[in-house]
Amino acid sequence: MKTMRGMFQDVYGPPDVLSLRDIAMPVVGAHDVLVHVHAAAVHIGDCFGVRGAPLPMRLATGLFRPKPGVPGYDVAGQVESVGSQVTTFRPGDAVFGAGHGTCAQYASVPEQQLALKPPSLTFEQAAAIPISALAALHGLRDAGKLKSGQKVLINGASGGIGTFGVQIAKAFGADVTGVCGTANGAMVRSLGADHVIDHTREDFTRAGRHYDLVFDNVENRSLSDCRRVLTPDGTLVLNSGSGARGLRLLVRLLLPLALSPFVRHRLRRYLSTPNHADLVVLSELVESGKLRPVIDRTFSLAEVPAALRHIETGHAAGKVVITVSPA
């Protein structure tokens, strides 16, 4: 059996349940691509997956034991080999995209969840893009139906999704307000935000300004508070809910969907599914100079537990990247 080095967990728990060890090489199906991983990225979803909490996460990661046991979704690297039905890529191609178990030397990724790496980016920069930038694109373009000239507020503008959200909204021609902490205001402005609200000094829900679209990546305010800042036909796109547990989590997730048919405001949640076509959209935005990743810190493969603990502090500005096999 061929093996590789990778981060692995046998049980759910805090990040320290992960250890770097020799594990089996991934199985490559007919429509899969074996990627030699140069860099990966981790986010709050990886923290949930490692801990197996909140419990609904286990529907995707295994009810009693974590599967596959290797964290990581974002990936950038070079194609090692391809499945018999793969037509888009060939060995040696530099690619980026989203799979499972990317905190390892090799990852098997479906062909339709990869694209050629933007030539102007390093592997570390490319790995910072897929999951978070796709979430921003799908939240603004698809769930939010963003149009040029609209006023958009992004709550959590300095986070992994928020930093991409600011840039994508600007690329779509919006007037963008970003909400973040004091330390990150200059960075959010540098991404193109027209206005920045420091949440430690001002409550955006009581400032008297109104927006056509609110993209909320934090959900630290009530539904009624957020609706207060919407225009009469405005849209609220919710993309968190992680601060609640148990019944409160269920209510937070479902209440906007239940209320939306009975009010003028559009209240939306959404699922972001990685796909080749939208990775190409992101690559084109990168190459046109309209999108760039913000990397908070870079960790080695052996430091994945430390990277996850850093994310759980809630203070990461932009993306946390893992260097796996330097190019």
pLDDT per position as a tens digit, 79-107: 999 999 999 999 999 999 999 999 999 99
Among candidate residues 106, 103, 104, 97, the one with its CA nearest the CA of residue 126: 97
pLDDT band at 64 (very low <50, low <70, confident <90, very high): confident
Q: Which two tokens stand for residue 246?
A: 């148990």
Give pLDDT, residue 240. 74
Give pLDDT, residue 214. 98
Residue 206, pLDDT above cutoff 60: yes
Give pLDDT, residue 325. 87
8 Å CB contact between 74 and 41: yes
8 Å CB contact between 168 and 133: yes
Helix, strand, or coil (residue 114):
strand
Residue 60, pLDDT above cutoff 90: no
- pTM score, two decimals? 0.94
Strands, E assignment, 9-123: 19-24, 32-42, 74-82, 94-98, 106-110, 114-116
pLDDT per position as a tens digit, 233-265: 999 999 975 555 555 666 677 778 787 788 899
8 Å CB contact between 114 and 173: no
Q: Which two tokens stand for residue 119?
A: 């030539």
Residue ranges of domains in the chain, CATH in brackets: 3-129+293-323 (3.90.180.10), 132-268 (3.40.50.720)
Helix, strand, or coil (residue 157):
coil
Query: Rounded to 5 degrees, what are φ and ψ at 143?
Result: -75, -40
96 or 314, which is more confident: 96
Lowest mean pLDDT among 104-113, 146-155, 262-271: 262-271
Average pLDDT over residues 192-198: 98
Q: Which two tokens stand for residue 251?
A: 């209510």
Q: To the nearest whole percent, how much of the chain has pLDDT over 70? A: 96
Lowest mean pLDDT among 146-150, 247-251, 259-263, 266-270: 247-251
